Amino acid sequence: MTNHRIPISKKDHAKGEDGYKTFSIRIKEETVAQLDDLAKKSNRSRNQLINIFLEYGVKHCEIVE
């Protein structure tokens, strides 16, 4: 697997977007701390970052058999 970085631009604190589904997941505390640090640096919510990472992962995954 290659090491590709995901560029995340800073964003104003705008909220209120539609078209999302809410559900819960379990995440390691260390990962939450890293997400919180990235959120602070990028002026984005933890939720916005998780969506960016999930969309990237879905688009760039490969199922191997």
pLDDT at 42: 95
CB 37 within 8 A of CB 49: no
Confidence band for 14, pLDDT divided at 50, 70 and 90: low
Instruction: Dump pLDDT digits (tens) for 18-61.
Output: 677 888 999 999 999 999 999 999 999 999 999 999 999 999 99
Q: What is the DSSP letter of 1?
A: -
pLDDT at 22: 84
Asked whether the predicted pLDDT for residue 1 surpasses 60, the reply is no
pTM beyond cutoff 0.95: no
- Mean pLDDT within 8-22: 68
Comparing CA positions, the residue from 57, 60, 50 lying closest to residue 8 is 50
